[in-house]
Amino acid sequence: MASRKNIKFKYYVSYLIVAVALILFTVLQLTGGLKRSTANLLAEIGYSVILAVSLNLVVGFLGELSLGHAGFMCIGAYLGTLFMKVFSGFIPSQLVCLIISMILGGLCAAFFGFIVGLPALRLKGDYLAIVTLAFGEIVRNLFKNLPWFGGAMGYTSKGYGSTLFIIAFVAILVMLFAVQNLVRSKHGRAITAIRDNEIAARATGINVTYYKLIVFVIAAFFAGVAGVIYANYTTPILYSFFSYNYSIEILVMVVLGSMGSITGSILAASFLTCVNFYLKTHLSGDMAALKYLVYALILMIVVIFGNAPALRSFREKYNPKVLFAKFFKKKPNPAAERNDAGSWDRIPTKIKMDELLTVDVKSNESVQDPDKGEK
């Protein structure tokens, strides 16, 4: 029973973080105690979190690399601004206007996600990565040159003001609701099955293309929503912002938060945005390259440490959770890891035959431990 409760609690952690932050900062904002720069930072965190979680859906859960996430965001940003301009003519409330634009902007991005996904998902792995990258660059190039989006000098939007972050945080909650429910459903299990072994998944009767497309479209939708938020945060919007470098920045967030962990993506996106914000003030001149140096090292160290076959035993020995359990429960408790693997929040990476055996043996020995501990 304990493990079920665990899952439930973990299920709510991400909501809890976002909701607490939302309430706290909203109260502060309404009482006028919030600095403008903090409101800016919160808005940046808002759209970064949406981007990171939606990309995580593709990279972490589906297991395909998309380098065109900024392209979907670009569609949302440009078209969302267009919708804002159109609707502000006959809808007096800016809030209603923004919400409608967010939904429509997201839908447009999702539509393009579908258009691109339909043929592109026939491709796999590296080929899909390059096609999504190409797609992002095409989108950017088109918005730069189409006559009605302000050209190379940028598309001027109106800007929503300092309460934007509240809407961004509400959007995060809505997205969490959608994504968590998808991931924990039977569809979510089908998606992770595709990631772990596509051929096996297909053999068990999972409609691979259908699920890939679903994930692609949902991720594109939320990237579009993030784009609309971004467009209301900044003005003018510039095509150059949405280059594949930005897609990679989102990828860094996902990787740092550990692929396949939604809470991880939220925390990593918030953390990196804060660090970015801080570094902007404190690194000037060419030293600003240090930021990318740090990014590069994060990417390389996290990935090499987490994936290198030679480091497997090291990883098992020094897993943070095992260490944590050692520290608090006085004796190692490999079951902690097992429990975690069983929850849907963090799904183990591809299980090899030998791993499968060792994990099973371990868990059989100590599956009773946590229950005893709790009672």
Partner 1 sequence: MKKFVRIMSVVLCVVLCAAVFAACGNKKSYTANNTEYFIGATGPLTGGAASYGISVQKGATLAVEEINKAGGLNGVNFKFEMRDDKAEAAEAGTGYDTLYEAGMQISLGSVTSGACKSFGAKAKEDNVFFMTPSASEQAVIEIGDNAFRVCFGDPDQGTLAAQQIKDDGFTNVGVIYDSSDSYSTGVYEAFKQKANEIGLTFTEQKFDAENKVDFSTQAGALKDCDIVFMPFYYTEAALFIKASAAKGSTAVFFGCDGFDGIAGQFTATDKPANTIKYITPFDVNSTDAKVSAFVTAFKAKYGEEPDQFAADGYDAVMAIYQAMKTAGVSDVTISASDLCNKAKATITSSSFSYTGATGSMKWDASGACTKSAQIVELD
Partner 2 sequence: MSTLIDGLSLGSIYALIALGYTMVYGIAKMLNFAHGDIIMVGTYAILTTMALCGFPAVAIVMAVIVCTILGIVVEKVAYKPLRGASPLAVLITAIGVSYLLQSIAQLIYGAKPQPVTLINFGHVTFGSTTLNISTLVTLGVAAVIMAGLTVFIKKTKTGRAMLAVSEDRGAAELMGIPVNKVITLTFGIGSALAAAASVFYLLQIPATSPTVGSLPGIKAFTAAVIGGIGSIPGAMIGGILLGVIEKVCMSIPALNPYTTAIEFSLLIVILLVKPTGLLGKKRREKV
Residue with smaller CB distance to partner 1, 67 or 201: 67
**Whole-number Å distance between alpha carbons of 171 and 162:** 16
Q: Considering CB under 8 A, how many residues would be counted as binding partner 2? A: 51
Phi, psi of 237 (to 5 degrees): -85, 135
What contacts 217, CB < 8 A, 6 or more positions away? Answer: 110, 113, 114, 117
**Whole-number Å distance between alpha carbons of 332 and 325:** 6
Could you say which of 40, 88, 163, 363 contacts partner 1 (CB under 8 A)? 40
In the complex, the smallest distance separating the C-beta of residue 126 from partner 2, rounded to whole angstroms, is 5
**Whole-number Å distance between alpha carbons of 128 and 68:** 10
Q: Are 67 and 244 in contact (CB under 8 A)?
A: yes
Task: Pick the closest to residue 227 from 57, 84, 32 (CA basis).
Answer: 84
Query: What is the distance of C-alpha 147 from the center of its chain?
Result: 32
60 CB-contact burial (10 Å; exposed 0-12 / middle 13-18 / buried 19+): buried
Q: Within 13 A of 46's CA, how many CA atoms are on the CB side?
A: 31
Quote the tokens at residue 145: 């040159």
Could you say which of 36, 186, 330, 331 contacts partner 1 (CB under 8 A)? 36
In the complex, the smallest distance separating the C-beta of residue 32 from partner 1, rounded to whole angstroms, is 7
Q: Within 13 A of 33's CA, how many CA atoms are on the CB side?
A: 6
Residue 374 interacts with partner 1 (CB under 8 A)?
Answer: yes
Residue 151 interacts with partner 1 (CB under 8 A)?
Answer: yes
Place of tokens 């900044």: 234
Residue with smaller CB distance to partner 2, 275 or 297: 297
Could you say which of 200, 323, 351, 367 contacts partner 2 (CB under 8 A)? 200
Could you say which of 118, 321, 362, 366 contacts partner 1 (CB under 8 A)? 321
Q: Considering CB under 8 A, how many residues would be counted as binding partner 1? A: 51
Residue 127, contacted partner among partner 1, partner 2, none, CB below 5-8 A by kind: partner 2
In the complex, the smallest distance separating the C-beta of residue 355 from partner 2, rounded to whole angstroms, is 13
Phi, psi of 155 (to 5 degrees): -105, 120
DSSP state of 242: G
In the complex, the smallest distance separating the C-beta of residue 188 from partner 2, rounded to whole angstroms, is 19
In the complex, the smallest distance separating the C-beta of residue 287 from partner 1, rounded to whole angstroms, is 9
Between the CA atoms of 201, 203, 206 and 211, what dihedral angle is there, to the nearest 10 degrees?
50
- Contacts to partner 2 from residues 146-185, by CB under 8 A: none
Q: How many CB atoms lie within 10 A of CB 347?
A: 21
Residue 127 interacts with partner 1 (CB under 8 A)?
Answer: no
Residue 255 interacts with partner 2 (CB under 8 A)?
Answer: yes
Could you say which of 308, 341, 351, 367 contacts partner 2 (CB under 8 A)? 308
Angle between helices 353-366 and 335-342 (to 10 degrees): 110
Place of tokens 């796999």: 124
In the complex, the smallest distance separating the C-beta of residue 365 from partner 1, rounded to whole angstroms, is 17
Residue 348 interacts with partner 1 (CB under 8 A)?
Answer: no
- Contacts to partner 1 from residues 250-309, by CB under 8 A: 277, 280-281, 283-286, 288-289
Phi, psi of 137 (to 5 degrees): -70, -35
Could you say which of 244, 272, 333, 347 contacts partner 2 (CB under 8 A)? 244
Residue 348, contacted partner among partner 1, partner 2, none, CB below 5-8 A by kind: none
Instruction: List interacting residues with partner 2 (CB under 8 A).
Output: 59, 63, 65, 119-120, 122-123, 125-127, 129-131, 133-135, 137-138, 141-142, 144-145, 199-200, 244, 248, 251, 255, 286-287, 289-293, 295-300, 303-304, 306-311, 349-350
Residues contributing to the site for partner 1 (CB under 8 A): 2, 5-6, 9-10, 13, 16-17, 20-21, 24-25, 28, 32-38, 40, 44, 144, 151-154, 233-236, 238, 240-241, 277, 280-281, 283-286, 288-289, 321, 324, 328, 336, 339-340, 370, 374
